């Protein structure tokens, strides 16, 4: 493996600064939070390397095939002869190119964490004619999956001359329970115009040994895995088993979630499309409630743990009166509650539109009905329909208590949004994701995931995108912009709510807000 890392000094896998013998500095360790302890344990067990220098520069590297196959030969990158890349000023990414996790820093602060920049390398570790790649999609649907599939196939073929590419049907279990089929640029030419996944998908079904046995039996040496949190954890297990067996197999993950709750990366693919499509539902609700007396519209959008779609759709619409998300507890009754706000808006405007993320208010719904804590095949807790519950609560309050007739309109466009093709912005983004994964696998990187960090695509250790979830930060300016736009109450002044936040934090810590299965 050729790595010019002259400005890096390898310290340890746990990223803890080492003190040199001649140092006069004394370090007092601050008590680590539970999250930080978990992060350190995860990275210490992960094969990726942490490289650190004295000025606080940290490179969180990803594994390479030569880590466990040191005698692996390398070859000139076929892109050297590509007519398309002939006019590019710098065809290949330097081994010293990195991407900073944070770009806003204090003048004298440490340089911080960096990731290896994605892109084509001057040398590759696979001969094009010897590559047998496969692509698999797992988990729920999301706009853009087909675009990623298409661009992996076209990228491998067009840039590297790879002809042998297999499609794995039906998620992880497709490796050992279903047939595969050949993917060619002609075969996938127009799949980006369709919603869903051309390869079909499923939840669960991950059996590491069966999957790697199948990879080995079929002679597959590049595996491209498209999926969310649990899927990426499964990709990490596949990589670890591949390394254990000493196989020349590159495992590349492409992170997928419509909720935009993947840590580290700027945003997940399909998110822009989801926000754009959500506008149609919000607009429909606004038209409906404007056309009747005392119209109340509730629009339920996706967001199991993170309210990004609801927040951005609300900001984009300007027709929304109140946005409720999982990160911000709310209450219904009393001063400053939702009922009071709805009544005020009805008196002022004659109508009100509420956007609700599907994970918001789950604790209240659970209290009002007998429920069993069920989970899907991926280990996700099945959510109750907070939209129907909230609609009924508002209707009951105003008709029975306030003696005020309201016209309720409830719209749930969840599956319509998930099933549509990606828009132009997401199509371009999916292309970059796919090509970055292809370049990384051909260059011998493995056990990695890809994504934009501060608008630059990077190779990221899988543990970094699965150790925690990206959530809306109520102390950030974006949420403040929403509150200013809707003029809704923040719901954070009630002692009852603050107590609820504590309870919620305890529950989240127990469940770790993570997928328990793969």
Active site residues: 259
CA distance 356 to 283: 15
What residues are paired with 411 via a beta bridge? 299
What residues are paired with 167 via a beta bridge? 135, 181
CA distance 450 to 438: 10
**How many C-beta atoms lie closer than 10 Å to residue 475's C-beta?**
6
Instruction: Confirm if 246 and 71 have CB atoms less than 8 A apart.
Output: no
DSSP state for residue 423 in the 8-state scheme = -
DSSP state for residue 400 in the 8-state scheme = I
Instruction: Confirm if 447 and 251 have CB atoms less than 8 A apart.
Output: yes
Binding residues for Mg(2+): 229
Instruction: Confirm if 252 and 155 have CB atoms less than 8 A apart.
Output: no
CA distance 368 to 503: 17
CA distance 137 to 172: 8
Task: Find, among 406, 353, 412, the residue nearest to 385 by Cα.
Answer: 412
What residues are paired with 348 via a beta bridge? none
Radius of gyration of the chain (CA): 25
E strand or H helix at 295: strand 295-301
Query: What 3-state class would DSSP assign to 238?
Result: helix
Binding residues for substrate: 257-259, 302-304, 358, 415-418
Instruction: Confirm if 328 and 492 have CB atoms less than 8 A apart.
Output: yes
Binding residues for ATP: 140, 203-204, 228-231
Binding residues: 140, 203-204, 228-231, 257-259, 302-304, 358, 415-418
Length of the chain: 518
Handedness of CA 376, 378, 380, 385 (dihedral sign): negative
**How many C-beta atoms lie closer than 10 Å to residue 179's C-beta?**
10
């Amino acid at each position: 493996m050729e790595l010019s890392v002259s400005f890096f000094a390898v310290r340890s896998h746990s990223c803890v600064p080492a003190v040199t013998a001649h140092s006069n500095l004394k370090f007092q360790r601050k008590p680590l939070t539970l999250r930080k302890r978990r992060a350190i344990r995860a990275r210490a067990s992960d094969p990726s390397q942490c490289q650190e220098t004295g000025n606080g520069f940290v490179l969180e590297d990803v594994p390479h095939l030569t880590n466990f196959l040191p005698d692996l030969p390398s070859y000139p990158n076929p892109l050297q002869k590509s007519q398309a890349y002939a006019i590019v000023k710098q065809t290949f990414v330097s081994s010293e190119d990195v991407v900073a996790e944070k770009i806003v820093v204090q003048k004298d602060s440490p340089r911080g964490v960096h990731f290896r920049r994605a892109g084509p390398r001057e040398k590759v570790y696979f001969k094009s004619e010897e590559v047998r790649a496969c692509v698999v999609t797992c988990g729920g649907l999301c706009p853009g999956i087909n675009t990623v599939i298409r661009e992996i196939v076209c990228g491998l073929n067009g840039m590297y001359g790879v002809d042998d590419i297999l499609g794995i049907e039906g998620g992880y279990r497709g490796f050992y329970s279903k047939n595969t089929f050949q993917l060619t640029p002609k075969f996938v030419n127009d799949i980006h115009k369709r919603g869903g996944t051309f390869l079909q998908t499923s939840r669960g079904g991950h059996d590491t040994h069966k999957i790697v046995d199948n990879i080995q039996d079929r002679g597959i040496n590049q595996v491209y895995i498209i999926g969310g949190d649990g899927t990426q954890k499964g990709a990490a297990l596949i990589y670890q088993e591949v390394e254990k067996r000493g196989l020349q197999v590159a495992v590349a993950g492409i992170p997928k979630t419509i909720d935009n709750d993947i840590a580290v990366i700027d945003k997940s693919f399909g998110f822009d499309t989801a926000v754009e499509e959500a506008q149609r539902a919000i607009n429909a609700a606004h038209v409906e409630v404007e056309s009747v007396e005392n119209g109340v519209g509730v629009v339920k959008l996706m967001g199991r743990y993170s309210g990004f779609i609801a927040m951005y759709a609300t900001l984009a619409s300007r027709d929304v009166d109140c946005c409720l998300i999982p990160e911000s507890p709310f209450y219904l009754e009393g001063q400053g509650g939702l009922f009071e706000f709805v009544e005020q808006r009805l008196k002022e405007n004659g109508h009100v539109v509420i956007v609700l993320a599907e994970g918001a208010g789950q604790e209240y719904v659970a209290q009002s009905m007998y429920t069993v804590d069920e989970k899907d095949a991926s280990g996700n807790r099945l959510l109750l329909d907070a939209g129907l519950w909230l609609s009924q609560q508002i209707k009951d309050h105003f008709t029975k208590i306030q003696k005020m007739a309201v016209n309720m309109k409830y719209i749930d466009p969840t599956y319509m949004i998930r099933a549509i093709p990606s828009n132009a912005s997401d199509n371009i983004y999916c292309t970059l994701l796919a090509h970055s994964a292809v370049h990384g696998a051909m260059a011998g990187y493995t056990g990695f995931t890809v994504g934009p960090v501060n608008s630059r695509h990077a190779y990221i250790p899988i543990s970094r995108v699965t150790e925690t979830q990206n959530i809306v930060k109520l102390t950030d300016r974006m949420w403040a912009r929403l509150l200013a736009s809707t003029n809704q109450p923040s719901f954070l002044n009630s002692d009852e709510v603050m107590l609820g936040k504590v309870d919620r934090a305890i529950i989240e810590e127990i469940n770790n807000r993570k997928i328990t299965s793969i």
